[in-house]
Amino acid sequence: MSKTVALHTLGCKLNFSETTAMSRLLEKEGFVKKEFTEPADLYIINTCSVTDNADKECRQLVRRIQRTSPEAMVVVTGCYAQLKPEEIAAIPGVNLVLGAAEKFNIVEHLKDLTRNDEGKICSCDIEEVNTFVPSYSIKERTRIFLKVQDGCDYNCSFCTIPMARGKSRSDSILNVLNNIEEITKAGAKEVVLTGINLGDFGKGLHGGKKKEENFFELIEAIENKSEIERVRISSIEPNLLSLEMISFISQSKKFMPHFHMPLQSGSDKTLAGMRRRYKKDVYAERVEHIKKLIPHACIGADVIVGFPGETDADFKESSEFISSLDISYLHVFTYSERENTLAIDLKPVVPISVRNERNKMLRNMSFVKMQQFTSQHNGQTRKVLFEGKNKNGMMEGYTDNYIKITTLYQPALENKIVDWEI
């Protein structure tokens, strides 16, 4: 009798691709995949630790499993598992905790795991993590998230990612092209390139510290040597998005006119406290260059509110700067204290109520910006890729420049790129 497995992802698109890769490994071993809400023999939670909510959600999921499937085994992996393995192992109901280097060895670990195991930890110091394991989400959706880079050598004062994922390291261009070929043969129309610091692509290849390849060479190779119809860049630091890259994408037949650049703050004082590697003028220059060459491009930004020392004047400066930018939407994060980060000792601390109010203000700004961006394209016909999910009689797709389109569900539109009047 086949064993059943259910997997759940917390956090980013890169986590999503890694969960799918683990699922494929288990299915090759004879496991039958179930929805996470269904009874299963084994549950795997792939965690994030960017915010406190991800930590809390992990605990809630374990408790839910205990209520619905008390005899099931529970494995927790991902960033939270690397940062705080003992904390997770102490959660009642967790059988195995896998650190960053062990998640893709899950099949081997399961061979020795029994129901009597409680809080077993298989992890190592993050400094020892130096291998790259590619992953992609082939069965999950029309847009395939392909991991091409992992880890980060930056030391932003608010971030735990380098401690959770280790040094920057990458796949080879040749292997990325091979993966895209597999994805294309499987029928996917769009690939989203993902990584922790995507613009740093090329580091850590073959265990080396120097860059043997770079991100511009990667996008050139994908443009010229792959058959995939659409490619997106998930997120790239503004200081690593060169004017040369923007120019190349403006002429591309494959890369979508959609950029996501983390900003984090529109105040140079706050950016310095965050230890970001650019000032706001650099960000503004990138946005201006994109819009000059690709007026219809969609541009998204990450912003953190409530960073220690962010005064009302700092926030006003930041929000006015963001308002002035010709960008399309924001992902707004409320600063949360993370252990072992430089920012945890910074003062003065911004009250939680103030952080939440600032978050609300920027989310409202994001809504208005997206409405304005969409309205600029009303009446235009753009290419839309529809996803194959029936959501209560409706289906969704995205234009090349990332405008969400919702229409009545039609099977004939599944995984099709069609001309669509907005």
User: For 209-224, what is each residue's pLDDT tens digit?
Assistant: 677 899 999 999 999 9
Structural domains in the chain (count): 3
**Which structural domain, as residue segments, surrounds residue 46?**
4-124
Percent of the chain with pLDDT over 90: 66
Same domain, 24 and 38: yes
Residue 51 inside a domain? The answer is yes
Name the strand (E) or helix (H) holding 417: strand 417-421
Residue 255 inside a domain? The answer is yes
Q: Which pLDDT belongs to residue 1?
A: 44
Q: What is the DSSP string of 187-207?
A: T--EEEEE-SSGGGTTTTGGG
Same domain, 93 and 180: no
pLDDT tens profile 46-68: 988 765 666 678 888 988 998 88
Q: What is the DSSP string of 24-83?
A: HHHHHTTPEEE-TTS--SEEEEEE--SSHHHHHHHHHHHHHHHHH-TT-EEEEEEHHHHH
Same domain, 280 and 386: no
Q: Is the pLDDT of residue 235 over 70?
A: yes
Average per-residue pLDDT in the chain?
Answer: 91
Residue 264 inside a domain? The answer is yes
Same domain, 56 and 99: yes
Q: Record the pTM.
A: 0.89
Q: Looking at 69, 93, 124, which one is the last position of a domain? A: 124
Residue 129 inside a domain? The answer is no
Confidence of residue 2 (pLDDT cuts 50, 70, 90): low
Same domain, 175 and 315: yes
Same domain, 350 and 398: no
Q: Which pLDDT belongs to residue 373?
A: 98
Same domain, 117 and 247: no
Same domain, 89 and 180: no
